[in-house]
């Protein structure tokens, strides 16, 4: 028997309907620096400008299925592209502004980008990559470039136009097409720390369902009463779906543009009464250090912070809870998974120890997403909180392949048809469903045949009052094959010695996990999306660039 329900596709065009029918008055504020006037617009104004942008892009020959890239901060115009591009049937390709020119050239060519919309403040970063993008038909510049920049880009790209000129010259309505929910809406490349970046192509349906999941109370519980500050970049997995979820819920958005320093973020939170934010642990760690140095700032309007993209130290969660009454909730996911798959939300009726265990895990699988742990032979391991293996995931917002069919070995399909992504993350799942990640497969430390969790060592080390950041990598060892090397940055003025850190760690982890190799450094190398660049750290160690202190075992 067939259902009697209407067959309405799950496409992002529904966001425009929602704005039109319900949330037109909700606001988007783009920060412009402390004491500067914010750029403010209602959802209705943004929808109108999105229609104008869609008309403008069509004028450049953009058709359904074409790729339109952005090279932008989190700001209003970027949000306009978030609506205009997918809803017109084209594909929004958010380029990561922190990649090298070579990577950008490779990605834009691989994706087949026809147009890039770029913030004028990022033109100098994009310029060296433009000669590597021969197919690019047009560059749309948001903001005011200098004459020299204009002359340079005009030499490299056939058409260059100002964003406002493109938008303002267009009709204010667009005939939004009825789209297939399985058609591509957006794409994003992995950060490519191992090998070439790989393209993930999100469908309208996957973005829609993921944003709905973000709106649910177990994840972010976004409502029209919220003021949402996505610190995670809109070029990184669609800012974890937070902008789309906010549009869906009619929640006000506060967009930080390029003002990502702790003082300006705190200013935004306080001035606009931000209730919900999302970002990587580094951002919130930097903010914590700043708040401690500058007491008296009240960030209590925050009712929830989604934190993920890298392991979130228990000490960071505790500091926000105890010093500011702000709940930092850990989430796990990846570019391939839209990204949110698990969330460490904790049921109310648990004991304190149980609560700690749950809060410090990557959390439980969201409704709609499935996960399992598999060993090297492909056997599914029990959920017993001990059996460690690769995390595999399945669900409607998890990719079933990469653009161009590369790296097919990262995917499998069970005999019953269930598809699985092999994440390359290593961890275990407890009997009550909490996922704990111990490492990336490429970062595991195998010492004497046994695994040492670099993630556990790192999150424990930053719990030391003098340690600001800690990264642990495996380095070759003649006796044990591999041993951990710990890199730390210390609080200014700290007199703590690595011997003290080792002794402190000895009280908290297994003895054989304790690193013998230590380095106190000024800064720890990071990737384009702000994670520890362990590949680079290992290379620097090999070439003797890291000043290592060797402690006795
Ligand atoms: P990306 O595709 O750049 O978002 O990176 C995804 C990777 O970040 C995952 O495969 C994990 O290795 C790591 N990651 C994300 N969230 C967490 C988390 N909560 N704890 C530990 N690692 C994480």
Q: Give the number of the atom of ligand 1 that is nearest the alpha carbon of residue 440.
A: 12
What distances in angstroms separate CA 307 from CA 286, 316, 382, 388, 476, one per listed residue? Answer: 13, 10, 28, 24, 32
Tens digit of pLDDT for each residue in 492-520? 999 999 999 999 999 999 898 999 999 99
- Is pLDDT at 40 greater than 70 in this prediction? yes
* Cβ count near 248 (within 10 Å): 21
- Identify the helix (H) or strand (E) that includes residue 536: helix 534-542
Beta bridge partners of 138: 115, 159
Strands 67-71 and 91-94, bridge-based pairing: parallel
Domains of the chain: residue spans and CATH: 26-319 (3.40.50.12780), 360-440 (2.30.38.10), 445-550 (3.30.300.30)
Inter-residue contact 328 to 307 (CB < 8 Å): yes
**Tokens, residue 196:** 């070439």
Question: How many Å apart are CA 465 and CA 291, to the nearest integer?
Answer: 15
For the segment 357-372, the average pLDDT, to the nearest whole number, is 95
- Is pLDDT at 444 greater than 70 in this prediction? yes
- Is pLDDT at 351 greater than 70 in this prediction? yes
Residue 278, ligand 1, Cβ within 6 A:
no
Q: For a substitution probing ligand 1, which of 189, 311, 314, 334 has the most ligand atoms within 8 Å of its CB?
A: 334
Question: How many Å apart are CA 228 and CA 251, to the nearest integer?
Answer: 7
For the segment 282-304, the average pLDDT, to the nearest whole number, is 96
- What is the 3-class SS of 3-64, one letter each residue? CCCCCCCCCCHHHHHHHHHHHCCCEEEECCCCCCCCEEEEHHHHHHHHHHHHHHHHHCCCCC
For the segment 169-193, the average pLDDT, to the nearest whole number, is 93
pLDDT the model gives residue 346 = 80
User: Where is average pLDDT lowest: 104-113, 195-204, 408-417, 527-536?
Assistant: 527-536
pLDDT the model gives residue 44 = 98
Residue 468, ligand 1, Cβ within 6 A:
no
Active site residues: 190, 336, 446, 451
Measured in whole angstroms, how far is the alpha carbon of residue 104 from the centre of its chain? 18
Question: How many Å apart are CA 442 and CA 444, to the nearest integer?
Answer: 6
- Is pLDDT at 417 greater than 80 in this prediction? yes
Confidence band (pLDDT; 50, 70, 90) for 195?
low
> Percent of the chain scored above 70 by pLDDT?
99
Nearest to 343 by CA among 373, 368, 318: 368
**Tokens, residue 316:** 């960071």
User: Where is average pLDDT lowest: 104-118, 167-181, 358-372, 445-459?
Assistant: 445-459
Confidence band (pLDDT; 50, 70, 90) for 138?
very high
Residue 426, ligand 1, Cβ within 6 A:
no
* Cβ count near 63 (within 10 Å): 11
Tell me the CA–centroid distance for residue 270 and ligand 1, in Å: 29
Radius of gyration of the chain (CA): 24
- Is pLDDT at 194 greater than 70 in this prediction? no
Confidence band (pLDDT; 50, 70, 90) for 193?
low
What distances in angstroms separate CA 6 from CA 10, 12, 208, 248, 378, one per listed residue? Answer: 12, 17, 18, 20, 42
Inter-residue contact 246 to 22 (CB < 8 Å): no
Q: Give the number of the atom of ligand 1 that is nearest the alpha carbon of residue 331.
A: 19
The residue to which tokens 């996911």 are assigned:
333
User: Where is average pLDDT lowest: 278-287, 403-412, 437-446?
Assistant: 437-446
Kindly provide the residue ranges of all beta strands, DSSP E only, lying in 106-218, ordered along the sequence. Answer: 113-119, 138-142, 159-162, 184-189, 199-203
- 427: which residues sit within 8 A by CB, 6+ positions away? 362, 373, 388, 391, 435, 436, 437, 438, 439
Tell me the CA–centroid distance for residue 334 and ligand 1, in Å: 5
Nearest to 304 by CA among 282, 272, 279: 279
For the segment 351-357, the average pLDDT, to the nearest whole number, is 84
Q: Give the number of the atom of ligand 1 that is nearest the alpha carbon of residue 529.
A: 3
Inter-residue contact 14 to 207 (CB < 8 Å): no
pLDDT the model gives residue 192 = 61
pLDDT the model gives residue 401 = 97
Tell me the CA–centroid distance for residue 211 and ligand 1, in Å: 19
- What is the 3-class SS of 286-314, one letter each residue? HHHHHHHHCCCCCCCCCCEEEEECCCCCH
3-state SS assignment for residue 343: strand
- Is pLDDT at 295 greater than 80 in this prediction? yes
Tell me the CA–centroid distance for residue 495 and ligand 1, in Å: 33
Q: Give the number of the atom of ligand 1 that is nearest the alpha carbon of residue 339.
A: 4
Residue 226, ligand 1, Cβ within 6 A:
no
Inter-residue contact 77 to 129 (CB < 8 Å): no
Q: What is the mean pLDDT of the chain?
A: 95
Question: How many Å apart are CA 474 and CA 452, to the nearest integer?
Answer: 9
Residue 309, ligand 1, Cβ within 6 A:
yes
- Is pLDDT at 212 greater than 90 in this prediction? yes
Confidence band (pLDDT; 50, 70, 90) for 328?
very high
Q: Give the number of the atom of ligand 1 that is nearest the alpha carbon of residue 527.
A: 3
Confidence band (pLDDT; 50, 70, 90) for 470?
very high
Residue 484, ligand 1, Cβ within 6 A:
no
The residue whose CA has the least distance to atom 4 of ligand 1 is 334
Question: How many Å apart are CA 156 and CA 71, to the nearest integer?
Answer: 17
- Is pLDDT at 469 greater than 60 in this prediction? yes
- Is pLDDT at 299 greater than 70 in this prediction? yes
Question: How many Å apart are CA 332 and CA 311, to the nearest integer?
Answer: 8
pLDDT the model gives residue 153 = 97
**Tokens, residue 363:** 């959390």
- Is pLDDT at 123 greater than 90 in this prediction? yes
**Tokens, residue 478:** 């003649």
The residue whose CA has the least distance to atom 8 of ligand 1 is 309
The residue to which tokens 């000895």 are assigned:
506
Residue 440, ligand 1, Cβ within 6 A:
yes
Tell me the CA–centroid distance for residue 391 and ligand 1, in Å: 12
- Is pLDDT at 35 greater than 60 in this prediction? yes
Question: How many Å apart are CA 41 and CA 83, to the nearest integer?
Answer: 15
- 215: which residues sit within 8 A by CB, 6+ positions away? 221, 222, 245, 248, 249
Q: How large is the angle between the packed helices 314-324 and 281-293, nearest 10 degrees?
A: 40
Q: For a substitution probing ligand 1, which of 94, 99, 332 has the most ligand atoms within 8 Å of its CB?
A: 332
Residue 399, ligand 1, Cβ within 6 A:
no
Q: Give the number of the atom of ligand 1 that is nearest the alpha carbon of residue 455.
A: 21
Beta bridge partners of 377: none
Question: How many Å apart are CA 285 and CA 306, to the nearest integer?
Answer: 13
* Cβ count near 8 (within 10 Å): 9
**Tokens, residue 47:** 């929808």
What distances in angstroms separate CA 454 from CA 276, 438, 439, 442, 483, one per listed residue? Answer: 30, 7, 6, 11, 10
3-state SS assignment for residue 499: helix
Q: Residues, the chain, total?
A: 553
**Tokens, residue 280:** 């990587």
Stronger pLDDT, 168 or 192, i.e. the higher one: 168
For the segment 149-172, the average pLDDT, to the nearest whole number, is 97
Confidence band (pLDDT; 50, 70, 90) for 98?
confident
What are the two backbone dihedrals, phi and then psi, of residue 268, each rounded to the nearest 5 degrees? -60, -45
Q: Give the number of the atom of ligand 1 that is nearest the alpha carbon of residue 191.
A: 3
For the segment 60-81, the average pLDDT, to the nearest whole number, is 98
* Cβ count near 218 (within 10 Å): 14
Tell me the CA–centroid distance for residue 338 and ligand 1, in Å: 12
3-state SS assignment for residue 122: helix
**Tokens, residue 16:** 């425009």
Query: Is there a cis peptide before residue 396, judged by omega within 30 degrees of 0?
Result: no
Residue 332, ligand 1, Cβ within 6 A:
yes
* Cβ count near 159 (within 10 Å): 12
> Percent of the chain scored above 90 by pLDDT?
87
pLDDT the model gives residue 99 = 87
Q: For a substitution probing ligand 1, which of 188, 423, 437, 530 has the most ligand atoms within 8 Å of its CB?
A: 437
Question: How many Å apart are CA 62 and CA 48, to the nearest integer?
Answer: 19
Residue 237, ligand 1, Cβ within 6 A:
yes
Tell me the CA–centroid distance for residue 162 and ligand 1, in Å: 36
pLDDT the model gives residue 383 = 98
What are the two backbone dihedrals, phi and then psi, of residue 217, each rounded to the nearest 5 degrees? -65, -30
Stronger pLDDT, 57 or 446, i.e. the higher one: 57
Confidence band (pLDDT; 50, 70, 90) for 362?
very high
For the segment 351-376, the average pLDDT, to the nearest whole number, is 92
């Amino acid at each position: 028997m067939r259902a009697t329900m209407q067959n309405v596709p799950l496409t992002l065009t529904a966001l425009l309907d929602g704005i039109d029918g319900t949330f037109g008055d909700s606001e988007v504020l783009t920060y412009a620096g402390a004491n500067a006037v914010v750029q403010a617009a209602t959802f209705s104004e943004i929808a109108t400008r999105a229609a104008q942008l869609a008309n403008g892009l069509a004028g450049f020959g953009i058709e359904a299925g074409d790729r339109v890239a952005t090279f932008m901060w989190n700001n209003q115009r970027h949000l306009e592209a978030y609506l205009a591009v997918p809803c017109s049937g084209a594909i929004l390709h958010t380029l990561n502004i922190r990649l090298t020119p070579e990577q950008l050239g490779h990605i834009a060519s691989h994706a087949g980008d026809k147009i890039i919309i770029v913030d004028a403040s990022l033109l100098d970063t994009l310029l060296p990559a433009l000669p590597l993008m021969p197919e690019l038909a047009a560059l749309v510049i948001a903001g005011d470039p200098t004459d020299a920049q204009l002359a340079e880009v005009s030499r490299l790209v056939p058409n260059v136009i100002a964003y406002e000129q493109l938008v303002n010259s267009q009709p204010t309505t667009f005939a939004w097409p009825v789209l297939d929910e399985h058609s591509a809406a957006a794409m994003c490349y992995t950060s490519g720390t191992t090998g070439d970046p790989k393209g993930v192509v999100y469908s309208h349906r996957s973005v829609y369902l993921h944003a709905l999941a973000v709106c649910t109370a177990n994840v972010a519980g976004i409502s029209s009463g919220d003021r949402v500050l996505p610190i995670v970049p809109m070029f990184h997995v669609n800012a974890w779906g937070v902008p789309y979820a906010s549009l869906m819920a009619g929640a006000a958005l506060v967009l930080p543009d390029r003002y990502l320093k702790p003082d300006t973020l705190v200013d935004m939170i306080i001035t606009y009464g931000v209730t919900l934010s999302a970002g990587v642990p580094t951002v919130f760690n930097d903010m914590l250090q700043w708040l401690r140095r500058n007491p008296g700032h009240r960030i209590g309007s925050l009712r929830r912070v989604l934190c993920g993209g890298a392991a979130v130290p228990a000490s960071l969660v505790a500091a926000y809870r105890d010093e500011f009454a702000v709940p930092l909730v850990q989430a796990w996911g990846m570019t391939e998974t839209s990204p949110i798959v698990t969330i460490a939300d904790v049921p109310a009726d648990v004991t304190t120890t149980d609560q700690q265990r749950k809060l410090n895990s990557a959390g439980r699988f969201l409704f709609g997403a499935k996960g399992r742990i598999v060993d090297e032979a492909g056997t599914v391991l029990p959920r017993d909180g001990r059996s460690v293996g690769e995390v595999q995931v399945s669900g409607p917002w998890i990719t079933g392949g990469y653009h161009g069919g590369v790296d097919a070995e990262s995917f499998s399909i069970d005999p019953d048809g269930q598809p699985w992504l092999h994440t390359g993350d290593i961890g275990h799942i407890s009997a009550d469903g909490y996922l704990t990640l111990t490492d990336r497969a490429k970062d595991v430390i195998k010492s004497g045949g046994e695994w040492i969790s670099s993630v556990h060592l790192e999150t424990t080390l930053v719990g030391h009052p003098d340690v600001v950041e800690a990264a642990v990598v495996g380095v070759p060892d003649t006796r044990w094959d591999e041993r951990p090397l710990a890199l730390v940055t210390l609080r200014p003025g700290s007199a703590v010695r690595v011997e003290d850190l080792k002794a402190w760690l000895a009280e908290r982890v297994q003895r054989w996990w304790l690193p013998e190799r230590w380095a106190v450094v000024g800064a720890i190398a990071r990737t384009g999306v702000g994670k520890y660049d362990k590949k680079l750290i290992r290379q620097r160690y090999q070439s003797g660039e890291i000043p290592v202190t060797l402690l006795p075992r």
